[in-house]
Structure 1
Amino acid sequence: MKITSPLLGAASVALLLTLAACGGDSGGGSGDEGAADGGGEAATACEPSDGEVTLTFFSWVPGIEGVVDLWNEQNPDIQVEVQTGPNGNSGTYQNFFNQLEAGNPPDLGQIEFDALPNFRVQDGLTDIGGCEGVMESQEKFVDWTWSQVQLGEENAVYAIPQDTGPMAMFYREDLFTEAGIEVPTTWEEYAAAAEQVRENDGYITNFSTSDINQFAGFVWQAGGSWFGNEGDSWQVGLDSEESVQVADYWNGLIQDDLVSTLPPWTTEWDNAYNSGDAWTWVSAVWGANSIMSGAPDTEGDWRVAPMPTWGDEQAAGNWGGSTTAVFKGSEHPHEAAQFALWLNTSEEAHEALIEAANLYPATTEGQQLPALSEGVPFYGDQKIYEVFTEAGATVPTEWTWGPTMTQVYNDVSDGFSAAASGNGSLAEALTSTQESTTSALESQGIPVGE
């Protein structure tokens, strides 16, 4: 389902023009007036409300109700009513947009990093940069996550980072050892290992043609960025040098039958990993649970290593991650910001979220909690989260998400699926999506640069 909304109009386009690349140096305003005139002071009034306050919060994190109960027990004057439902692209984002249009959104909502620009463009977020404690919390977070929630506006903050998805390589240590194959550390070695794995009747991995976030993580690692902002225009770089490099690499593996292309999150996909048909998965930290649940017969056989690199310099991509945002129209931005900060920076909230949902915090301290520093039995008692912590520190900060990501994902997926069937190539799919994305932006009155 595409993320669309009738809210996008002239006012939203004006807001859009202030957005810069998420790791860039450009300043600009914050809040409504700052966004329009380039001012530097936070425009959002963020004073405490009088009397008792009740906030509404929507999330799809498993067990979030119990975490919110901890807050409610300690904050009788600021109560939070939690609502739950499917993840963002499964209907929740569209519901948010419908609620914004009707003027009745929740006070706070869970929004993934890649969806934030769309909500900003459509003027659906409150700038909480002027709220107590928000700017001061920046030092708590992994660098690139903070740049993602500022959306290129130096003095603005449109959400509080919640969790991240640094990428590493899950691999079957037993199979690599038995076959005498070295665990690859570069993508060149990975391709060579793929040939050896195929000689042993396996596939080194399964390449997803439908979940494009994984491919985006590969491009992110390579130093590319699919979007940027220059002056008053968006820049679209889906067919950038880095994107094509990554596409050509995987296209070659697909053509040579060195990787499978099973649909992810299916029984067939799980069976490939459970049976030993697939030997590695370059995925995010949350993938640890996917393998444990989908391949239970392989307990003790898996290990985690840094994802292969394009050269000697270690870098990782990111796949996933969410934020807690305050929606435009909330009557209690101060209280909402305080809850969002507690939820995503306090030790007790982190411990509860890790226990309930194995969530990987976006704060550096949260990533050092005991629950994430112990050996994991399924992975041979390896301290796998240490690998992901190191990976998170090497994720490039310059990646920028665009305002039409659902359209991008749909179009890339269509092209990738065709390429996997022998019709065209992955690079051609990116070129086609470059054109369709440019057209999608221009059809909404959004300027696109060369």
Structure 2
Amino acid sequence: MAMRGRTSHVRRFTIGAVALALTAVTACGGGDGDDGSNGAAASSCEPASGKVTLDYWSWVPGMQEAVDLWNSENPDIQVKLKTTPSGNAGTYQNLSNALKAGKAPDLGQIEYDSLASFRLKEGLRDISACPGVSEAGSEFVDWTWSQVEFGADGEDGVWAVPQDTGPMALFYRKDVYDKLGLKAPTTWEEYAEQARTVKKAGKYITHYSQTDPNWFTGLLWQNKATMFERDGDTWAVTVDRPESRKVADYWQELIDDKLVATDLQGFSPALYKAWNTGEVVTWISAAWGYSTIRDNAKATDGKWAVAPMPQWNAGEKQAGNWGGSTTAVLGKTEHPAEASKFALWLNTDPEALEILNREGGLYPAAAAGLELPALKQPVDFYGGQKVFDVFAEASANVDTGFTWGPTMTDTYRFLSDGTAGVIAGKTTLGDVLKDTGAQSADSLRKQSLEVTGG
């Protein structure tokens, strides 16, 4: 997200038709909620009469420190944290299983793009009637609050509290680049040329992971390759489109020419070792990625730098977005008032925001969080560079027309499964786009949505 001083840019960053996407989910109808929509209705949200213990699942590094701070100040509402894998690496499947078994936690970290999927599973609680929630919208950057309100102007409730965003840029080993006589690439063509230079030096320019389909989605996003479109009550599945094919063909060539490491999964010990040894020298990632490298490649302290994403056309300034999460109150919680109180505190309290930025690398969704001193200071690990200036510019250059589908967890699974075949040499990324489009269309039809394309 942009700095507070650039709020005009931030507030136009609405991710296009996301609100429409979530409204369409409501149109599915059914569910057990008292309001006739999927998820648990906010028919009441009365505080408990005694002490409460809440279970919370999150993958943010340093989250325990924030939870400990809360627990020290709130003896009657204690939070038990379970540290989990990142969403598509395991947490979402585990949450789905727990919901089916009636053993889900009170709160869970869920990315914006996956909220609708959990709504369809009746996995979220409408917390709009809980104390302080309806008034909290003004404390967050506009577009993030609109993503947790399903329906125009919040008429269909509030289903989570915004936490962070993920504008993307290029992390690169400046020491390696300097040694090879390279500068941060400005175009994807230049990046591919650098990949060949880096390979001759016995290194890989980056890795291509099977387990990060939302990373690939961020690359599509940069090229304005929206995966879904909506016209009234009808969904068009546009996963396989010329803009997407351009991105897929580019990366397929890098894979075919063995210019990227394909045996490394995201957020894995093997990848961290490759960063530490200099085997892999760049990572196209989100603002939160600065702490991922910092905490897992300590041997490279002071050797990294951050630059804008390479562009498809010289002179452009387009950026993608990867991730960005919410703190969601899950549908079967017995303590929605206490859960929503903790979720609001976690994502608005200055001390909590500072902890989550310092330890977890989160780029806050709260307006006050954009004033954190750390976001305006040089970062020692990155050679004293003010890295968040790069991400502030990136957030102002993300296409606002990108549309999430209402079953993104399915779409991501299709992408991930297909990518496994690409890595094995059995298919191509272009074919994966085609197959994912068809499978995603079937997924929407199973939810009784009107669908074209795919």
Give TM class, smaller chain: 0.7 to 0.9
Match of 1:146 in 2: 145
Match of 1:108 in 2: 107
What code does the residue aligned with 2:162 have? P
Deviations 1:185-220 (A, max 9, x none): 222332333344344444322222332121111112
Deviations 1:114-159 (A, max 9, x none): 3211111122212223444434433443444333323455313211
What code does the residue aligned with 1:269 have? L
Report how far residue 282 of structure 1 moved.
0.7
Match of 2:8 in 1: none
Secondary structure of the structure 1 residue equivalent to 2:54: strand
Report how far residue 111 of structure 1 moved.
1.9
2:363 is aligned with 1:360? yes
Secondary structure of the structure 2 residue equivalent to 1:345: coil
Match of 1:10 in 2: none
Question: After the TM superposition, which residues 145-294 of structure 1 pair with which residues of structure 2 at under 5 Å, given as runs?
Answer: 145-155=144-154, 156-264=157-265, 265-294=267-296
Secondary structure of the structure 2 residue equivalent to 1:323: strand
Q: 1:101 to 1:26 in 2, by over 3 A?
A: closer
Please give the alpha-carbon distance, in whole angstroms, between the structure 1 residues aligned to 2:100 and 2:128. Answer: 24
Q: 1:317 to 1:143 in 2, by over 3 A?
A: farther
Q: 1:271 to 1:342 in 2, by over 3 A?
A: closer
Match of 1:298 in 2: 300
Please give the alpha-carbon distance, in whole angstroms, between the structure 1 residues aligned to 2:388 and 2:20. Answer: 29
* Contact 2:56–2:105 under 8 Å retained in 1: yes
* Contact 2:168–2:321 under 8 Å retained in 1: yes
Please give the alpha-carbon distance, in whole angstroms, between the structure 2 residues aligned to 1:132 and 1:35. Answer: 23
Deviations 1:266-307 (A, max 9, x none): 454334333333332111223223333443333222111111
Secondary structure of the structure 1 residue equivalent to 2:435: helix
Q: 1:235 to 1:355 in 2, by over 3 A?
A: same
What code does the residue aligned with 2:293 have? I
Aligned residue among 3, 18, 21 for 1:22: 18
What code does the residue aligned with 1:298 have? T
* Contact 1:23–1:144 under 8 Å retained in 2: no
Please give the alpha-carbon distance, in whole angstroms, between the structure 2 residues aligned to 1:25 and 1:296. Answer: 41
Q: 1:328 to 1:251 in 2, by over 3 A?
A: same
Report how far residue 22 of structure 1 moved.
0.9
Q: 1:118 to 1:26 in 2, by over 3 A?
A: closer
Where do 5+ consecutive residues of structure 1 fail to align? 1-19
What code does the residue aligned with 1:206 have? H
* Contact 1:217–1:318 under 8 Å retained in 2: yes
Q: 1:240 to 1:23 in 2, by over 3 A?
A: farther
Q: Tell me the matched-pair count.
A: 426
Q: 1:54 to 1:153 in 2, by over 3 A?
A: farther
Match of 2:133 in 1: 134
What code does the residue aligned with 2:445 have? E
% identity of equivalent residues: 46
Please give the alpha-carbon distance, in whole angstroms, between the structure 2 residues aligned to 1:298 and 1:91. Answer: 29
Report how far residue 343 of structure 1 moved.
0.9
Where do 5+ consecutive residues of structure 2 fail to align? 1-15
Deviations 1:394-425 (A, max 9, x none): 33334343344444333323333333444332
Secondary structure of the structure 1 residue equivalent to 2:163: strand
Please give the alpha-carbon distance, in whole angstroms, between the structure 1 residues aligned to 2:361 and 2:183. Answer: 30
Question: After the TM superposition, which residues 383-394 of structure 1 pair with which residues of structure 2 at under 5 Å, given as runs?
Answer: 383-394=386-397
Aligned residue among 49, 57, 60 for 1:59: 57
What code does the residue aligned with 2:52 have? T
Secondary structure of the structure 1 residue equivalent to 2:78: strand
Deviations 1:242-268 (A, max 9, x none): 222211221222233433323224454
Match of 2:439 in 1: 436
Please give the alpha-carbon distance, in whole angstroms, between the structure 1 residues aligned to 2:98 and 2:21. Answer: 33
Secondary structure of the structure 2 residue equivalent to 1:194: helix
Please give the alpha-carbon distance, in whole angstroms, between the structure 1 residues aligned to 2:398 and 2:51. Answer: 39
Please give the alpha-carbon distance, in whole angstroms, between the structure 1 residues aligned to 2:201 and 2:61. Answer: 39
Report how far residue 47 of structure 1 moved.
5.1
Q: CA RMSD in A?
A: 3.3
Please give the alpha-carbon distance, in whole angstroms, between the structure 2 residues aligned to 1:385 and 1:317. Answer: 15
Q: 1:355 to 1:174 in 2, by over 3 A?
A: closer
Q: 1:127 to 1:352 in 2, by over 3 A?
A: same
Q: 1:437 to 1:43 in 2, by over 3 A?
A: closer
Please give the alpha-carbon distance, in whole angstroms, between the structure 2 residues aligned to 1:184 and 1:439. Answer: 39
Please give the alpha-carbon distance, in whole angstroms, between the structure 1 residues aligned to 2:296 and 2:319. Answer: 24
Q: 1:327 to 1:270 in 2, by over 3 A?
A: closer
Please give the alpha-carbon distance, in whole angstroms, between the structure 1 residues aligned to 2:98 and 2:259. Answer: 47
Q: 1:235 to 1:122 in 2, by over 3 A?
A: farther
2:314 is aligned with 1:318? no
